[in-house]
Amino acid sequence: MKMINGGVCAAQGFKAAGMHCGVRKNKTKKDLALIFSEVPASAAGVYTTNLVKGAPIAVTKSHIADGVAQAIIVNSGNANTCNANGVEVAESMSQLTADALGIPSNNVLVASTGVIGQPLNLEPIAAGIPELAKTLSVEGGHDAAEAIMTTDTVAKEVAVEFEIGGKKCTLGGIAKGSGMIHPNMATMLVFLTTDVCISSDMLKKALKSDVANTFNMLSIDGDTSTNDSCMIMANGLAGNEEIAYEGKDFIEFMRALNTVTVALCRMIAGDGEGATKLLECVVSGASDIQTAKAVAKSVICSSLLKAAMFGADANWGRVLCAIGYSGVKVDVDKVDVFFKSNKGIINVCKDGAGLDFSEEIAKEILLEDEIEILINLNSGSVTSTAWGCDLTYDYVKINGDYRT
């Protein structure tokens, strides 16, 4: 398996495009994206658990119910959430896209991201979709990645190449997400494409299983958004024998999917609103997966720990505190804690008690822009990882006037 360029257009038969149509006032920022498969594809999606959901999610769930899709239309700048005519607008976006592409409207998935509770004007989108469809290309993945950004500072895209049944296969994706991210599947949107031939049932099983250990282990600020969506299309053009059951081919597909989603998780966490550091919390030695996940997520979500990491302060007590309120049973007298970066690794807590360590060395380690928080519960053999970022002054600045 190797990393390649191309994002959502790396796989055979996929094209994409991105443009500024006028949803956003800033004309220098793209705000409309389209991803298209040359043939109908198996499709699956996972969505936010927030009871308040964006209208596009209802439309997408309806359209994807048969396990088939061929296009995804996405706007940024407005979430189309809590609007009386939201579903009507989302359905219109789907129909306009279908008309421009010459495909059935129920094969079009829809997503929106941006401000919640503001009416979404369909006019600029309606005017932009025909032009967007005309500009679809295999080089358009980056434009699409830019068009879905809101407070993101960088476009997020990745792809991998691998083999299944002797056939060269590709899986790629783009994502957006910087704030309001605490998924149980945030303003986080993820779009994945692959040329692997896989049934819609197995694709759904793969995505749901992977998201539980990747995007659901990611937190920027503890807020679960109304529009979280992760969608995948698999068009089968790689020519492998259809993956219709679990086995070695399904395992290899899962490995490729996980490689892409973990990479996107790290990109999203590292680009958190106002963030200066990517945090990765690895919990080992847990008695079961529920304990490992709960501890990792609790630590990565701790505002006090995130603030300490911003200040390069090796305040390991905040790690223990977060473990203590994680809601799972942990023998705190067995817990070891390490901080690690490119500058080295330092053991700051042994058997639940502090060690005599060098504050100077610890600070040097924590001044790096990627920090690992390593926790050994010494109570079993299960491991889990969560991703997040530090908490800075700029997070408040960004969100203090996000709407206005």
Catalytic residues: 187
Containing 76, the helix (H) or strand (E) segment is: strand 68-78
Helix (H, G, I), strand (E, B) or coil at 247: coil
Q: Are 189 and 147 in contact (CB under 8 A)?
A: no
Residues 33 and 308: their CA atoms lie apart, in Å, by 38
The closest of 158, 202, 201, 151 to 179, measured between CA atoms, is 151
Torsion of CA 328, 212, 265, 83, to 10 degrees: -100
Q: Are 81 and 200 in contact (CB under 8 A)?
A: no
Phi, psi dihedrals of residue 305, rounded to the nearest 5°? -65, -40
Residues 148 and 241: their CA atoms lie apart, in Å, by 34
Q: Where are the alpha helices (DSSP H) in 20-163?
A: 55-63, 86-101, 122-134, 141-147
Q: Are 291 and 382 in contact (CB under 8 A)?
A: yes
Helix (H, G, I), strand (E, B) or coil at 214: coil
Residues 245 and 233: their CA atoms lie apart, in Å, by 18
Q: What is the DSSP letter of 14?
A: E
Residues 85 and 96: their CA atoms lie apart, in Å, by 16
Residues 78 and 322: their CA atoms lie apart, in Å, by 35
C-alpha pair distances (Å), 56 with each of 12, 98, 174, 277, 338 = 27, 15, 18, 32, 43
